[in-house]
Structure 1
């Protein structure tokens, strides 16, 4: 078969022949219809993701849409220690897959599920989110952040503060459900002050930034909070601004701050998969939307580093599935 193959963490994957994987146990060999190029896929392909063990060669891709031998289509999450999804064929474990409705677009599903899953699972599995609560999406101008705004609105958030650097994207988020936007551009201290004033009393923070942005944001919110004993659930999902923060100890004593992560390891695979059917239904119904850019898998090396319009996600479509 042909696949996108990473042979060096310093280079993009190349389209080349590779041995088809052999199913074991419950696994099924499926034809891949679509596989999204997510930030999680890039970090796995360059060896920087926290689950990377440094082994090469590898086929990137963490999820996708596949066609089973009986013709049915399914969205699936690849096994943690198995081959990736950016290939003409890969392995599907039925315990990590859900069937697709006939009217579901495989390219849209492959583009949307990974970024949407992060906030969907976080709000439904990591905390007991209730309709009427308010949410801050930190890093809202990225694909996952934009999806988080839509999902918070769908799940009944009374107020949604969207914060990010891209002013043009911020303006678009009001149409997706944001009740207030905050620019993180410019002087970092001034940005943190703006954020504190706008979002001090939210109930939940969905954080895709971490790093210096979060380091300033936590004290900014807590020092302006009207009732510091009111619980604030800070859900760490991404680290666009850096992998580390320095957190003053007083912050944890002076407010009811609960910091947690949401990602591989903090949730069981079964728990994640259980949320997928309802999320797929939202995309099929058009309740949630995503902008996908389909690209033939044969163009993976070029597309990997090519500029792409903000807000769109590349989805590779192997030729075998055409």
Structure 2
């Protein structure tokens, strides 16, 4: 079968021909536990794929070589089309066939194509669940989204608005990104460059006194600034670190304001929550009430897609086998 393969940490994957995984189920010693083979219709590419491929991911890296890809939409042996997350390395989603944990797929709702629905998998789920399930947004609260022009940020802007936020502010690096954030319904958009004191002033002004909830896809200086402006009992949900892996956080405001920093990863949400969230987002997208641009490239262009994802493309990238 055709597949992308990573042969060296830090290098982009290349398209190759390899033997497909065994069908059905476990592929020798490379798959732990009950597993199923799925025909991949579209594979998502996400920041986590780049992080794993670097060999420096905090949760570790698979042995080389391996097929990358932590999510996809595929057809099961019985014809059911499902979205799946996670990977049984070396059989990731960027191939004609992938291996998934038995029974882990979420049925694709009717009315939406796989090429659109893939945007509401890893990226959409991270956005929606960080606002709702993890962030526990309350009606009328002010929400600040750090990294608002990326895939997660764009969905988070819309989710916060739909869930009753009183004010939504997005932070984005480029002018075009800020324009996109405003078009999606944010009340204000601010830049992400500068020192902590300058970012702090911009956040305080744009949020009209500080945020109650921060969805943070940046970390670094933007997160440090946000934490110094938050209202009492504010929450920062940490979903990514595209700006930096470390942040110059000041301790005092955390204690003084009872501010919480909440870690987040999709898989910690109960399955029933993830199923309901995926179905809701797909339904909203099908009715035109939730937007996210998805660009689908051919699997043969995996090296290009990998490089573009590493530069934060500002929309969802996916691959079609």
**Normalising to structure 2: TM-score of the pair?**
0.88
Secondary structure of the residue aligned to 2:20 is coil
Supply the distance in 2 between the matched residues of 1:189 and 1:198 (Cα, whole angstroms): 14
Contact 1:170 1:181 in 2 (8 A): yes
Offset of residue 237 of structure 1: 0.7
Report the count of equivalent residues.
Answer: 311
In the other structure, the counterpart of 1:20 is: 20
Offset of residue 53 of structure 1: 3.2
Comparing 308-317 with 54-63, greater Cα deviation is found at: 308-317
1:315 aligns with 2:318: yes
Supply the distance in 2 between the matched residues of 1:53 and 1:311 (Cα, whole angstroms): 26
Cα distance change of structure 1 residues 241 and 32 upon mapping to structure 2, 3 Å threshold: same
Supply the distance in 2 between the matched residues of 1:130 and 1:70 (Cα, whole angstroms): 42
Cα distance change of structure 1 residues 288 and 295 upon mapping to structure 2, 3 Å threshold: same
The CA deviation string for residues 94-140 of structure 1, in whole angstroms up to 9 with x for no partner, is 54221113431111112342211112112232133223222110111
Contact 2:69 2:87 in 1 (8 A): no
Equivalent residues in 2 for 1:156-167, closer than 5 Å: 156-167=164-175
In the other structure, the counterpart of 2:30 is: none
Secondary structure of the residue aligned to 2:121 is helix
Equivalent residues in 2 for 1:1-322, closer than 5 Å: 1-22=1-22, 23-24=25-26, 26-79=34-87, 83-186=91-194, 188-199=196-207, 200-219=209-228, 221-222=229-230, 225=231, 230-263=232-265, 266-267=268-269, 271-306=273-308, 310-318=313-321
Contact 1:134 1:160 in 2 (8 A): yes
Supply the distance in 1 between the matched residues of 2:180 and 2:52 (Cα, whole angstroms): 30
Contact 2:83 2:108 in 1 (8 A): yes
Secondary structure of the residue aligned to 1:16 is strand
Comparing 59-68 with 307-316, greater Cα deviation is found at: 307-316
Offset of residue 39 of structure 1: 1.1
Comparing 243-252 with 263-272, greater Cα deviation is found at: 263-272
Supply the distance in 1 between the matched residues of 2:281 and 2:176 (Cα, whole angstroms): 27
Supply the distance in 1 between the matched residues of 2:34 and 2:161 (Cα, whole angstroms): 38
Supply the distance in 1 between the matched residues of 2:112 and 2:267 (Cα, whole angstroms): 29
Which segments of 5 or more consecutive residues in structure 1 lack a partner in the other structure?
Answer: none
Offset of residue 82 of structure 1: 6.3
Supply the distance in 2 between the matched residues of 1:19 and 1:130 (Cα, whole angstroms): 51
Cα distance change of structure 1 residues 214 and 156 upon mapping to structure 2, 3 Å threshold: same
Contact 1:96 1:270 in 2 (8 A): no
Supply the distance in 2 between the matched residues of 1:184 and 1:42 (Cα, whole angstroms): 22
Supply the distance in 2 between the matched residues of 1:268 and 1:8 (Cα, whole angstroms): 35
Offset of residue 261 of structure 1: 0.9
Supply the distance in 1 between the matched residues of 2:266 and 2:90 (Cα, whole angstroms): 15
Contact 1:78 1:91 in 2 (8 A): no
Contact 1:113 1:280 in 2 (8 A): no
Offset of residue 235 of structure 1: 0.6
Secondary structure of the residue aligned to 2:295 is strand
Cα distance change of structure 1 residues 111 and 167 upon mapping to structure 2, 3 Å threshold: same
Cα distance change of structure 1 residues 148 and 80 upon mapping to structure 2, 3 Å threshold: farther
Contact 2:36 2:99 in 1 (8 A): yes
Cα distance change of structure 1 residues 245 and 53 upon mapping to structure 2, 3 Å threshold: same
Supply the distance in 1 between the matched residues of 2:227 and 2:186 (Cα, whole angstroms): 21
